[in-house]
Amino acid sequence: MILNLGVRTTDPMRVAYRILEDQENDAVAMAGFLTELTRKGARLTDTTMFVYHEPSGKKRQKRELLVPVASEVGGVDTKALQPTRVAFIVFTGAEDQAEEHHRRLMEYVRRNHLNPVEGIQRIEAHYAPEDMDERDWTMENMIPLKD
């Protein structure tokens, strides 16, 4: 179910990040990175995000795992993200519906004559439910836009 669809500007934030290997599983990478950050005393400030730099289906898709943190974390790469104008869609449902919602977001971008930046296909934010046994997570797909 779609909860929200539109254009907004993201907040500036500091993130710990990691480039993912070609065939690395997103969920396994996220769990391992969150464990590492917690052990190093990082204070997490927002939801985990994945940045996809090329369309899915490419053999070598560059992906980054981003975890918003309050400050630098020893032994972990961090960077500051500037506010970015994005087209976004927030939805709940099973993960197998994510591609369909991404298509709806792309239709919204085309219909409203918005211009995506080059080099980033999408950003996904995964909002963990309070009950970890819940099947339907809330997710947000974002497409960065040119000003």
What is the pLDDT confidence band of residue 5, given thresholds at 50, 70 and 90? very high
What is the pLDDT confidence band of residue 14, given thresholds at 50, 70 and 90? very high
Q: For residue 78, give the amino acid letter.
A: T
Residue extents of the structural domains in the chain: 2-144
Q: Does domain 2-144 have CATH number 3.40.50.300?
A: no
The percentage of residues in the chain with a pLDDT greater than 70, rounded to a whole number, is 87
On the CB side of 70, CA atoms within 13 Å amount to 7
Name the token pair of 50.
């994945």
Q: How far apart are CA 119 and CA 19, in angstroms?
A: 15
The pLDDT value given to residue 56: 56
pLDDT tens-digit series, residues 82-99: 999 999 999 987 667 778
The pLDDT value given to residue 80: 96
The pLDDT value given to residue 95: 67
pLDDT tens-digit series, residues 38-75: 999 999 999 999 999 866 555 667 899 999 999 999 99
Name the token pair of 40.
């190093």
**H-state helical runs in the chain:** 26-39, 98-111
